[in-house]
Amino acid sequence: MTETLTAREAALRCGVSFRTVIRWAERGELQAYRLPGRGDYRVPVEELRRFMREYGIPEPDEMPGRPKRVLVVDDEPAMALAIQRVFVRAGFETAIANDGFLAGSLLYTFNPDLLTLDIRMPGIDGFAVLRFLSETQLPTPLKVLVVSGDSAEHLEQALALGAHGALCKPFDNQALLAAARELLGEAKAPARAMRPPSSSG
């Protein structure tokens, strides 16, 4: 599904008023479409990027104030939606991948700033995703926060494979948000707050 923006969202990324974006669309300079019945404009993200390159406007990913993007990778739909809601309410842009394969694809189309990653998934599991990330040059910097109900040993293994933090399920919503903001450099949190408890025995 093509990612789209409202006229207001497109305007925010271009640093203009939403009425300016509408005028661009009406003049045919920016390819956009109107929703049936409502008349609201929608602008495909790739079309906006083309327009911005053509007119020398900084790319959205380079603009200060762009909402951070979080890709939620979890094969349990209810859990993925629960994690997504935490970030949406905090003003993040989000996308969900229910398996490791889709996650790999969205790394290049969604360009997330943060990946929340479950370990135990069918097919390509969280460990395989971490190995892939360690061997791949991504277009934008990426932080990985493992969010899993797996054992402390597995969480420590994920950290050893390159994850930047780990949080145990079940988790407190504020703890999840604090861990994410810490990794993204948006807040200061105790360095070990996101790490799994030390294993015993």
pLDDT range class, residue 111, cuts 50, 70, 90: confident
Residue-wise pLDDT tens digits, 59-99 = 655 444 468 899 999 999 999 999 999 998 888 899 999 98
Residue range 12-32: mean pLDDT, rounded: 89
User: Residue 158: what pLDDT?
Assistant: 93
Rounded Cα distance between 91 and 87, Å, is: 6
pTM, to two decimals: 0.62
CATH code linked to domain 4-59: 1.10.1660.10
Share of the chain above pLDDT 70, in %: 86
CATH number 3.40.50.2300 is the correct assignment for the domain at 69-183: yes
Rounded Cα distance between 40 and 90, Å, is: 25
H-only helix segments in 16-99: 18-26, 45-54, 77-89
Domain with CATH 3.40.50.2300 in the chain: 69-183
